């Protein structure tokens, strides 16, 4: 279930950034920074608590796995999994996402909340691409990441 939240948190943070623009122009920036630092922190905690000793032995190739039927008639399911490489890439996404928020701190002066909504939606799509095992779900996150 934590894999689902790793994808959902950037999307929820983006929506919160968009709606928090009326509280002031600094609020979306802080929310976006906190969101990406949270993704980074969760990935570091997963890395610290992960058991990578059996990796490659054929018994259990995934550190975490989450599978829920989505459209069973066509065999489509929400199948998310985390291994060592995807964990490193998600941590890198969290770090670079926080860095992108910090670099845009003084550069974006108009529609700050909408900018951070788009940034966090793209980063949520990137995290989804790294976690998706189902081809339709991968394609969905790939399109979110590209647009």
Q: What is the residue-wise DSSP string for the chain?
A: -HHHHHHHHHHHHHHHHHHGGGG-SSHHHHHHHHHHHHHHHHHHHHHHH---TTTTSSS---SEEEEEEEEGGGTEEEEEEE-HHHHHHHHHHHHHHHHHHHHTTTT--SSHHHHHHHHHHHHHHHHHHHHB-SHHHHHHHHHHHH-
Q: Going residue by residue through the chain (147 aa), what tens digit of pLDDT does each one get?
A: 899 999 999 999 999 999 998 888 899 999 999 999 999 999 999 999 877 665 555 666 788 899 999 888 988 899 999 988 999 999 999 999 999 999 999 998 889 999 999 999 999 999 999 999 999 999 999 999 998
pTM of the model: 0.89
Boundaries of every domain in the chain: 2-51+72-146
Contact 103, 27 (CB under 8 A): no
CB neighbours of residue 98 within 10 Å = 20
């Amino acid at each position: 279930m934590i894999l689902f939240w790793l994808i959902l948190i950037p999307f929820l943070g983006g929506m919160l950034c968009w709606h928090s623009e009326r509280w002031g122009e600094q609020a979306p920036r802080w929310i976006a920074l906190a969101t990406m630092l949270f993704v980074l922190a969760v990935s570091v905690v997963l890395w610290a608590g992960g058991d990578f000793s059996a990796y490659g032995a054929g018994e259990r190739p995934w550190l975490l796995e989450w599978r829920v039927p989505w459209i069973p008639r066509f065999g489509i399911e929400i199948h998310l999994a985390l291994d060592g490489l995807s964990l490193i890439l998600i941590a890198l996404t969290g770090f670079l996402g926080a860095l992108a928020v910090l670099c845009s701190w003084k550069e974006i002066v108009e529609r700050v909340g909408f900018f951070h909504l788009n940034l966090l939606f793209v980063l949520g799509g990137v995290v989804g691409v790294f976690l998706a095992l189902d081809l339709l779900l991968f394609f969905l996150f790939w399109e979110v990441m590209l647009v």
